[in-house]
Structure 1
Amino acid sequence: MSHFHLDHCGALPYMTEMVGYNGPILMTHPTKAICPILLDDYRKINVERRGDQNFYTLDMIHRCVSKTGFPVNIDYMLALTIG
């Protein structure tokens, strides 16, 4: 995950906690630091303000971020082969 915008990380708790994705998740250090804050804010807007009952929980956010492993330094000009 190259950065923490919602169009990149917004579905991560859904994928890991509801769908069951358990493959590698790579994040830069800033993304791993800010992602849980952004995801919780997104959750609050959808659950507390809009009343969405089928949304991920704060616990799901913490579990999914813990599955990302160590942050990586990424050279954006370098092609990575994963798997």
Structure 2
Amino acid sequence: VLDGLEATRRIVADPDSSAAVLIVTTFDRDDYLFQALAAGASGFLLKNAGPEDLVAAVRVVASGDALLAPEVTRRVIARFAGEPEH
């Protein structure tokens, strides 16, 4: 019944959980990306990623690090650096 963003918020907010959230989505939209990060997601990967990339992403997030799909990384940097978006 929940969407991925609300599920992420609840998982991250649970004090008894040490789970990290990796969002895997078809939504290659900045608004969804930034909402996912604001909700507490540790990673954001697009569904067009290959199987090796998915496995690597799960390992990265499970180890406590963060990961962004290469396709969105430039946009995140541009937004936080104040660069005009392309």
Settle same-fold status: TM greater than 0.5. no
Q: Which interval holds the TM-score relative to the shorter structure?
A: under 0.3
Q: What is the TM-score normalised by the length of structure 2?
A: 0.27
Question: Which structure has more strand as a fraction of its residues?
Answer: 2
Q: What is the TM-score normalised by the length of structure 1?
A: 0.28
Which structure would you say has the larger RCO, counting Cα contacts within 8 Å and 6 or more residues apart?
1
